[in-house]
Chain A
Amino acid sequence: MTELILIIAFFVMLVMGVPVAFCIGLATMLALLTSIDPMPALTTIAQRMAGGINSFALLAIPLFIFSGNLMSSGGIAQRLINFARSFMCALPGGLALVNVISCVLFGAISGSAIAATSAVGGVMVPAMEEDNYDRGFSAAVTATAATTGLLIPPSNILIVYAVSSGGVSIAALFVGGYLPGMLVALCLMAVCAVHAKQNGLHGTGQVSAVAVWRAFLQAAPSLLLIVIVIGGIIGGVFTATEAGAIAVIYALALSMFVYREITVAQLPDILVKATETTAIVMLLVGTSIAMSWLLAFENVPVTVAEALLSVSDNPLILLLLINLALLVVGSFMDMTPAVLIFTPIFLPVAVQLGMSPLHFGIMMVLNLSIGLCTPPVGSVLFVSCAVAKTSIEKMIKPLMPMYAAMIVALALVTYVPAFSEALPRFFGLYE
């Protein structure tokens, strides 16, 4: 009964256009009111909301959001794109491939797919149009490729997963995300190559060692950030949260003193923008943690686990079912609440099937990142559509093979644990 009210209230308000975080909070409130007295119910939700945000690991998120904003307005994206362009431009479908690689590089210095979409898309879509690429296709490439940044560290969503799974190391998750992120990028590049071949989109310009070197030198200070942040986390020099502060200081110094594209006068605005984004994420985190607590209170994880295990005891089939469920969840729910609400439900089942929490987290994030590019709720899809000034309808057809590519990557990551676990093991961060 409580669960039914929760689901119905959530969906009705979602469709009405109530902001998602409030849909989650209000649905939790209504459901809890049917089950316990109003006084403790309301106090408990307020307490879970505020208490849920009270975490040192989550502190990394505003820092990576801030550094990401600095990097998208500080000319760093442009230099990464120039670098990717210098060695990829001559290949067939060159600019589409440049778009994918730029998204991967940008994802490797920032923690958000939305930042990558607007920073890379803003430059690449007009450039691709000059080379006769269809706008819908360019927007589709940007959206899907930007999601690789969710797997490639630093990644805000992997931090959220670390908090929600209760104890998977952020360093291990970060390192574990590299190969799956690159796998998705490779699958997308294959789609781009086929598209280019079919549409006669040739490469432009020639690759010269001098130009590559020059572009590399320009991009090197940005790329150095990867070495400092990730190197510092892997080497145990600092925590992910501290790495976030380092990233802010480095990005600030780089864009103010080296690239000279941000002035002191612009800082307050960038700060407020970062605060806004942080508040949006944190309200989602707070209300989702309240909803997740309610589900645990109502014993939902146990019920779901029993139901799933009664369907089959074959891990292959159960993982398929979990993935299908998450694909549906991902298309209706933003990623942060999806991770916070569904990790406690599905992780115990996955562990019972012999999957490691590290592997499950990477799989879940890859799965949900597909949902970010699908309507009706797909924040990356909408941002990409707006940046490219095109329509969702024009993006859907070119998106189809890209969804397929991402699902191929998802299947590989689901059934081959080595993609997620080999690197963390190599660096001694795992087991």
Chain B
Amino acid sequence: MVTKLELALRGLLAALMGTLVLAVSWQVISRYALSAPSVWTEELARFLLIWIGVLGASYAYRARVHLAIDLLPRKLGGRRGAGLEAVNASLVGVFAAAVMMFGGGRLVMITWQLNQISPALGLPMAVVYSVVPLSGALLLLFACLRFVAERAIALDSTGEAPR
């Protein structure tokens, strides 16, 4: 289930990135080859970047590629290191819930109520910003899974837990 979600996320991100490259390329081509500068590509590309950045952030957490100093958890090693990683995962979960889901959710609500529309594409900004609570929910899920996994290692009474 989670693996399927990850694969879907991966595919979506690759598609967004591919579209971004095409959009900016089209902007150059339309200006020089067709001498009819396109007005919507810039806006589309900027919104794609928000989606890639924010949605990719939760994917990158799952893939464990975010930059971190793991000196202390590694030094502690074994159960104590896993215990610390469980605490870290819960901190990431707090950020996901408080800032991204709650703060981001309110941001979506406010921009929806104010009826903010993007100038070129006519897209409601609430749709663009909806990626923040969406990615927050995914991040919270991934953080919970990480917490459960690390906690299991930390509480493993057989001692020499594999890491």
Interface residues of A (CB under 8 A from B): 13-22, 25-26, 29, 39, 41-47, 49-50, 53-56, 58-59, 62-63, 66, 238, 241-242, 244-246, 248-249, 268, 271-272, 274-276, 278-286, 334, 376-377, 379
Give 1 or 0 for each of B101-139: 1 = CB within 8 Å of chain A CB: 011101100100000000000000000110110000000
CB A2 to nearest CB in B, in angstroms, measures 17
Closest to A277 in B: B65
Q: Is B94 an interface residue (CB 8 A)?
A: yes
A271 & B84 in contact (Cβ 8 Å cutoff) = no
Partner of A43, one of B60, B68, B107: B107
CB B47 to nearest CB in A, in angstroms, measures 8
Query: Cα distance A412–B28 when bound, in Å?
Result: 39
B54 & A19 in contact (Cβ 8 Å cutoff) = no
B42 & A56 in contact (Cβ 8 Å cutoff) = yes
A271 & B17 in contact (Cβ 8 Å cutoff) = yes
Q: Is B59 an interface residue (CB 8 A)?
A: yes
Query: Cα distance A20–B69 when bound, in Å?
Result: 8
A56 & B46 in contact (Cβ 8 Å cutoff) = yes
CB B105 to nearest CB in A, in angstroms, measures 8
Q: 3 closest pairs, A vs B, by CB?
A: A279-B56, A282-B53, A42-B103
A279 & B53 in contact (Cβ 8 Å cutoff) = yes
A18 & B65 in contact (Cβ 8 Å cutoff) = no
User: Known contacts A246-B28, A274-B17; can you find 15 more A-B pairs with CB under 8 A?
Assistant: A15-B69, A16-B73, A16-B84, A22-B66, A22-B91, A42-B103, A50-B104, A50-B129, A59-B49, A66-B21, A245-B24, A279-B13, A279-B53, A280-B57, A376-B69
> Which residues of the partner chain A approach B46 to less than 8 Å between Cβ atoms?
54-56, 59
> Which residues of the partner chain B approach A29 to less than 8 Å between Cβ atoms?
95, 98-99
Closest to B99 in A: A45
Query: Cα distance A279–B28 when bound, in Å?
Result: 25
Query: Cα distance A281–B53 when bound, in Å?
Result: 8
B interface, size bucket: 35 or more
Q: Is B160 an interface residue (CB 8 A)?
A: no
Closest to B42 in A: A56
A249 & B107 in contact (Cβ 8 Å cutoff) = no
Query: Cα distance A169–B50 when bound, in Å?
Result: 23
> Which residues of the partner chain B approach A21 to less than 8 Å between Cβ atoms?
57, 66-67
> Which residues of the partner chain A approach B110 to less than 8 Å between Cβ atoms?
43
Closest to A14 in B: B69
Query: Cα distance A96–B145 when bound, in Å?
Result: 46
Closest to B27 in A: A242
Question: If the complex has contacts A25-B95, A42-B99, A242-B24, are A53 and B50 also in contact, measured as CB distance less than 8 A?
Answer: yes
Partner of A249, one of B25, B95, B129: B25
> Which residues of the partner chain A approach B104 to less than 8 Å between Cβ atoms?
46, 50
Interface residues of B (CB under 8 A from A): 10, 13-14, 16-18, 20-21, 24-25, 27-28, 42, 45-47, 49-50, 52-57, 59-61, 63, 65-73, 84-85, 87-88, 91-92, 94-95, 98-100, 102-104, 106-107, 110, 128-129, 131-132
> Which residues of the partner chain B approach A46 to less than 8 Å between Cβ atoms?
99-100, 103-104, 106-107, 129, 132
A17 & B24 in contact (Cβ 8 Å cutoff) = no
> Which residues of the partner chain A approach B68 to less than 8 Å between Cβ atoms?
17-20
Q: Which of B69, B85, B104 has the most CB of A within 10 A?
A: B69
CB A390 to nearest CB in B, in angstroms, measures 18
A54 & B66 in contact (Cβ 8 Å cutoff) = no
> Which residues of the partner chain A approach B102 to less than 8 Å between Cβ atoms?
42
Query: Cα distance A272–B56 when bound, in Å?
Result: 10
Question: If the complex has contacts A25-B99, A42-B106, A49-B99, are A19 and B92 also in contact, measured as CB distance less than 8 A?
Answer: yes
Closest to B63 in A: A276
A282 & B52 in contact (Cβ 8 Å cutoff) = yes
Closest to B43 in A: A56
CB B76 to nearest CB in A, in angstroms, measures 10
B53 & A278 in contact (Cβ 8 Å cutoff) = yes
Question: If the complex has contacts A268-B14, A272-B14, are A26 and B91 also in contact, measured as CB distance less than 8 A?
Answer: yes
Partner of A17, one of B45, B54, B55, B84: B84
Partner of A16, one of B47, B87, B107: B87
> Which residues of the partner chain A approach B99 to less than 8 Å between Cβ atoms?
25, 29, 42, 45-46, 49
Query: Cα distance A56–B132 when bound, in Å?
Result: 19
B56 & A276 in contact (Cβ 8 Å cutoff) = yes
> Which residues of the partner chain A approach B24 to less than 8 Å between Cβ atoms?
59, 63, 241-242, 244-245
Query: Cα distance A334–B66 when bound, in Å?
Result: 12
> Which residues of the partner chain A approach B14 to less than 8 Å between Cβ atoms?
268, 271-272, 275
Question: If the complex has contacts A39-B106, A282-B54, are A59 and B20 also in contact, measured as CB distance less than 8 A?
Answer: yes
Partner of B71, one of A18, A22, A55, A376: A376
Closest to B18 in A: A271
Partner of A278, one of B52, B71, B95, B100: B52
CB A396 to nearest CB in B, in angstroms, measures 15
Query: Cα distance A130–B88 when bound, in Å?
Result: 43
Question: If the complex has contacts A66-B21, A245-B21, are A377 and B69 also in contact, measured as CB distance less than 8 A?
Answer: yes
> Which residues of the partner chain A approach B84 to less than 8 Å between Cβ atoms?
16-17
A53 & B49 in contact (Cβ 8 Å cutoff) = yes
CB A297 to nearest CB in B, in angstroms, measures 16
A17 & B17 in contact (Cβ 8 Å cutoff) = no
Query: Cα distance A14–B103 when bound, in Å?
Result: 23
B59 & A279 in contact (Cβ 8 Å cutoff) = yes
Query: Cα distance A66–B42 when bound, in Å?
Result: 18
> Which residues of the partner chain B approach A49 to less than 8 Å between Cβ atoms?
54, 99, 132
B95 & A286 in contact (Cβ 8 Å cutoff) = no
